[in-house]
Chain A
């Protein structure tokens, strides 16, 4: 109470002192403004993860015991769920899901990145038709992943689906086999390569044209310009895009679940495995799968940020802010105005 009434008056009286006072006030203000967000995230993110770690050390006894009575309750089993996952009867299922998840992530994200980069370069060069291309690039992004899974299931349908008609082949895309992986990767690439393209395009548009002109004067050809100017300068935007795609693909669920189906060896991911166990009320193993995936995601993110230096928080981008006000005023439209 006292501080809020004091601040304005002291601002008027002594210009030197209030700064420290205001900082004290702002610290408190910031804390109160941030607390709702942190409370919500604590409840829906932090608590569940801690709870998952705890749960992964328990096994539920729900079901019938030897005498046919319904038993409810849990018993502490330590790391048994984990040892079962890695070496027990279901180990092959886990390693298969682990392999699938990794395979999808590496292959799909690589293709998407190359394709997205190519799209961004093309969009950056086009001076007409930008509105059209911008709108159409957003369409795959806007379609719910589950719906795009259905759409691709229809395209890859074995009886007269359009993919087989175009290819003049009879591939049973959505059945077990390597082609199921191909189908998932194609569908995922379709949906997300344009998204990478958009993020990279934004990175391209902030490269000042003068650098290219200088390079041209120095005699650098297109490829050298791309390698020595475009790529290094677009790297921050590209790395952030790739990081988000990596983490997103590691937790992939909707697409293989809808396109290929549950319990299919060729397309089962770690998330699908955890979901499957949760559906069977095996909360212990489900939590263990979930926590393993969590660790996997954390390790990948950490290595990516450490080794490649992806600047996720955008401190570099924040430093660019002073340049922004030169362009038109509306903040919403500034970032991607045609250069």
Chain B
């Protein structure tokens, strides 16, 4: 490349090089993009395709089903799987966790982002640090406690521990959102005679709605995907959440894992999230990268 660029006069040389390389320089990123898309979507595609095969053709490895069929989906909702109830349980647990988190977290985030007080960084550091603790070190003592107070097989036994990782995530995200709003907003409100509380309620909160919404999506997804808490705190089938129920589907025999049904159930659990991701991708990415928390 240098050899071919060298004979050209100096000023043109600067231009000639990009033009020569424009072929692969522009093409390469697109090849890369295609690889990334393939990497991310191929396993998901396989789940979808496997779910849409006839159960008798389960072990086909063609890239499109020979015969499209919804049999696997019907099998998912067969009564003895209890999958409908499991979905409802997931919605209740994840929904309640999200709402509680938003209510509690918004206040904290507002204080951390907009108020000037001593120990602010420490408070934020402590909140973030709590999200890094391994779940098992909370689950073991809570399991014992919940057994004593007869909370096993209840919604609150799943919701309360879930707060431990959803709340820090929400506080952190909301703090970043609140920080991005211009500080003149409260100053103007205070000059107009608002108390700090009123400034928060009447000026900041309505304007922070997009941030609240994004945080709600992230919190909901985090709680929806939760597994070990639901697995530990519940042993009655009717109270299990969807992620746990699916892994416990049984086939005709004990050694025959019903993958077709499980893939179909996986699709049912995942599709709402994928749709949410497609619609709100910008918001979600802004939230993820702002928070840096899973």
Contacts and interface: CB of A to CB of B under 8 A. Distances in A.
A156 B134 CA distance: 28
Interface in B115-134: 115-118, 120-121, 123-130, 132-134
A313 B243 contact: no
A320 B139 CA distance: 38
30 contacts: A7-B195, A11-B191, A23-B117, A30-B111, A34-B111, A37-B104, A43-B160, A49-B133, A49-B137, A51-B141, A55-B144, A133-B33, A134-B281, A136-B37, A137-B40, A139-B44, A140-B40, A145-B225, A150-B263, A151-B47, A155-B46, A198-B289, A247-B134, A278-B139, A283-B143, A301-B132, A318-B179, A332-B210, A332-B287, A336-B286
B283 A290 contact: no
B274 A142 contact: yes
Among A122, A190, A197, chain B packs the most CB atoms within 10 A around the CB of A122
A325 B182 contact: yes
Contacts of A44: 138, 142, 160-161, 163-164
A8 B197 CA distance: 12
Interface in B63-81: none
Contact of B168 (A41, A149, A162): A41
Contact of A144 (B127, B132, B142, B227): B227
Among B123, B141, B181, chain A packs the most CB atoms within 10 A around the CB of B141
Nearest to B162: A44
Contacts of B108: 33-34, 36-38
Interface of A: 4, 7-8, 11, 22-23, 25-27, 29-31, 33-34, 36-38, 40-41, 43-49, 51-52, 55, 118-119, 122-123, 125-126, 128-129, 131-155, 157, 159-160, 162, 165, 190, 194-195, 197-199, 201-202, 237, 240-241, 244, 247-248, 250-251, 253-254, 257-258, 270-271, 274-275, 277-279, 283, 286-287, 289-291, 293-294, 297, 301, 312-315, 318, 321, 324-325, 330-336
A48 to B, nearest CB: 4
B50 interface: yes
A125 B29 contact: yes
B33 A129 contact: yes
Contact of B247 (A8, A43, A150): A150
A48 B292 contact: no
B219 interface: no
Interface of B: 28-30, 32-33, 35-37, 39-41, 43-44, 46-47, 50, 59, 61, 104-105, 107-108, 110-112, 115-118, 120-121, 123-130, 132-145, 160-161, 163-164, 167-168, 171, 176-177, 179-182, 190-191, 193-197, 210-211, 214, 221, 224-225, 227-228, 231-232, 243-244, 246-247, 257, 259, 262-263, 266, 269-270, 273-274, 276-278, 281-290, 292-294
Given A36-B104, A144-B270, A275-B232, A294 B139 contact: no
A274 B140 contact: yes
Contact of B135 (A23, A195, A251): A251
A104 B294 CA distance: 18
A22 B114 CA distance: 13
A27 B111 CA distance: 9
Contact of B190 (A11, A36, A159, A290): A11
Contacts of B293: 244
Given A25-B196, A41-B127, A145-B227, A275 B133 contact: no
A125 B180 CA distance: 27
B132 A314 contact: no
A253 B225 contact: no
Contacts of A138: 277, 281, 284-285
B36 A133 contact: yes
A275 B144 CA distance: 12
Contacts of B243: 144, 146-147
A269 to B, nearest CB: 10
B36 A119 contact: yes
A133 B31 CA distance: 12
Given A143-B270, A150-B263, A8 B104 contact: no
B283 A333 contact: yes
Contacts of B111: 29-30, 33-34
Contact of A36 (B47, B107, B164, B284): B107
Given A41-B130, A335-B286, A48 B137 contact: yes
Contacts of A290: 134, 136-137, 139-140
A150 B262 contact: yes
Among A36, A146, A202, chain B packs the most CB atoms within 10 A around the CB of A146
Contacts of B121: 313, 315
Given A146-B247, A271-B134, A23 B33 contact: no
